Amino acid sequence: MGENKQRMLAGDWYLPDDPELGADTERRSVLCAAYNAAGTTSADRAAILAQLLGSVGPDVRIRPPFQCDFGRHISIGAGTFVNFGAVFLDAAPITVGAHVQIGPNVQLLTPTHELDAARRREGWERAVPVTIGDNVWLGGGVIVCPGVTIGRDTVVGAGAVVTKDLPAGVLAVGNPARVVRTLT
């Protein structure tokens, strides 16, 4: 594994325009295109997910189109459902628990960019893991920002932008997402 990729996986600043990362991106591109192609059977999609993702539990359903950065850094637990248009940018690990419900057009984002204009122009970025607990429901259009953990049994309302960790068993809504009540 090259130094740049090691930096990326360690959460350090790295340059995404790297031949090794480019090869991983090409692999992902081919697998996502096959997954998203019209006429691909459910059995074929399950086999593609097994190749694409780092780990995938039984009875996981992801409706196409589905896009990711690498795929290898994504782990999805048993019985999880992901609706149309999901984007999982997995430059760092994305861990999705079991029995999670993910609405259409949800984005799970691990990359973040340099605030310094000169370094940003040079292309520096880093990535911070995203973790979604068991039995979470993310409504349509939710965006989960880098480094966020959402506790088990939490519900995030449609269109929310989650910029900070959410505890277990709450309802959160808005931009930025805020807890509005505890769920029983």
Delimit the domains of the chain by residue range: 3-182
Residue 18 confidence (pLDDT) above 90: no
Residue-wise pLDDT for 66-81, tens only, equals 999 999 999 999 999 9
Reported pTM: 0.96
Residue 64 confidence (pLDDT) above 90: yes
Distance CA 57, CA 142 (A): 23
Structure tokens of 96? 């999705």
Which class is 3-182 in CATH? Answer: mainly beta
Q: Supply the pLDDT for residue 184.
A: 81
Name the active-site residue from 5, 113, 152, 178: 113
Asked if residues 77 and 99 have their Cβ atoms less than 8 Å apart, the reply is: yes
Catalytic annotation on 113? yes
Q: What is the pLDDT averaged over residues 103-122?
A: 96
Asked if residues 153 and 135 have their Cβ atoms less than 8 Å apart, the reply is: yes
Residue 59 confidence (pLDDT) above 90: yes
Q: Is 20 helix (H, G, I), strand (E, B) or coil?
A: helix
Asked if residues 71 and 28 have their Cβ atoms less than 8 Å apart, the reply is: yes
